[in-house]
Each structure stands twice: as C-alpha cells, then as structure tokens.
Amino acid sequence: MDAKTLFDQMCEPRANVDQVRNITATYADLVAGIADRLTPAELDAFIRLGSVMKGRVTVKVPLLKLEQVDAWLAYSKKHFPSDAAALRG
C-alpha cells in the first residue's frame, strides 16, 4: 500500500476514530507490534514521530458553557492578542 492510499484512508470521514482516546498510547501499541522487524534507524524515526505526536495532541482545549464563550474570547483578546487575531480568521 502506498502513502497516498494510507493518507486517503486516514482522511475518510467514516473512519471509526471514536474508540481512540489516547493517540500516543495507541501509536505506541501499534509500533510495538512491528518494532522487532524495524531497523534501529526506522525505530528511531517512529519514536521521534511519536514524540512529535505527543507534543501536538496533549494541548488542553478549554471546555466552556455557551454563555462563557464571549467572556473567554474577550480575555483571550486581552492576554493573547496574536491568538485572538487567529480566532477571528
């Protein structure tokens, strides 16, 4: 299977991703299943990718009630002006 086919399958909206709660742990389980067949350089590449994934997926996202959104946006605009500009699109 080539990279494009894999990517297309990953982007498929019907993919069952609801069961995946901890992406990094799931990735580690998958890599562990093939680790003994990888060269040290390949394993290192998978580990580095896992480190990048962990850094990207552990960002906490604030969960707000609908009535709190305006206050949070005002706070963000005051304290994080560059991020607030990105929120406006």
State whether 53 and 64 are in the same domain: no
Helix (H) or strand (E) holding 72: helix 69-79
| Residue for token pair 């562990």 | 32
User: So what's the pLDDT on residue 88?
Assistant: 57
Q: How many CB atoms lie within 10 A of CB 76?
A: 15
State whether 42 and 85 are in the same domain: no
Query: pLDDT (tens digit, 9 = 90+) per residue, 27-73?
Result: 999 999 999 999 999 999 999 999 988 877 665 666 778 888 888 88
Q: Which residues contact 4 (CB under 8 A, 6 or more apart)?
A: none
Q: Mean pLDDT throughout 13-29?
A: 76
pTM over 0.85: no
**Structural domain tally of the chain?**
2
CA distances from 62 to 3, 34, 59, 85 (A): 34, 36, 10, 18
What is the domain range of residue 7? 1-58
User: So what's the pLDDT on residue 49?
Assistant: 93
User: So what's the pLDDT on residue 15?
Assistant: 64
Region of 12 on the Ramachandran plot (φ > 0 left; ψ -120 to 50 alpha; else beta): beta
